[in-house]
């Protein structure tokens, strides 16, 4: 068997709010949920499980590779909702996107404060 990424748990202040944020932004369908998790499934089968841990949430970084058409729609939704965003991870270029690696990218924070990156071309 080859190695593939299967799932991760993403800490959330409100698991429903975070899951809905990603479902709407990335145009993903609802997935079956259980126990303390609200789940969404990416097109490649990877499961994102949102949970509310009883500890202070530490910021994590999550990057999503998406096609140009979805990038356009997602970026438009970010702007329409007034989500603060940057072209760079240092947050020095607000309100912009970047054109790194032959594609486009943008950084912003999700409802729990995690650093999210959308890119249209992989780094490698």
Q: 68-99 pLDDT, tens per residue?
A: 999 999 999 999 999 999 999 999 999 999 99
Q: Would you state the structure tokens that stand for residue 87, as one six-digit string?
A: 């072209």
Rounded Cα–Cα distance for residues 65 and 119 (Å) = 5
Looking at the predicted structure, is the pLDDT value of residue 9 above 90? yes
Question: What's the whole-model pTM score?
Answer: 0.95
What pLDDT does residue 3 have?
96
pLDDT band at 1 (very low <50, low <70, confident <90, very high): confident
Contacts of 102 (CB under 8 A, 6+ apart): 121
Q: Would you state the structure tokens that stand for residue 77, as one six-digit string?
A: 């939704």
Q: What is the average pLDDT across 101-122?
A: 98
What pLDDT does residue 103 have?
98
pLDDT band at 30 (very low <50, low <70, confident <90, very high): confident
Q: What is the average pLDDT across 8-33?
A: 97
Give, rounded to a whole angstrom, the gap between the first and last alpha carbons of the chain: 23
């Amino acid at each position: 068997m080859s190695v593939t990424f299967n799932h991760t748990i993403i800490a959330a202040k409100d698991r429903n709010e975070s899951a809905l944020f990603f479902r709407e932004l990335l145009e993903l369908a609802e997935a079956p949920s259980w126990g303390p998790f609200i789940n969404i499934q990416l097109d490649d089968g990877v499961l994102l499980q949102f949970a509310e841990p009883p500890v202070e949430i530490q910021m994590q970084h999550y990057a999503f590779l998406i096609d140009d058409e979805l990038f356009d729609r997602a970026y438009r939704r970010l702007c329409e909702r007034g989500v603060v965003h940057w072209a760079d991870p240092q947050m020095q270029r607000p309100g912009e996107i970047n054109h790194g690696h032959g594609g486009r990218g943008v950084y912003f924070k999700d409802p729990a404060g995690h650093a999210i990156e959308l890119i249209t071309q992989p780094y490698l």
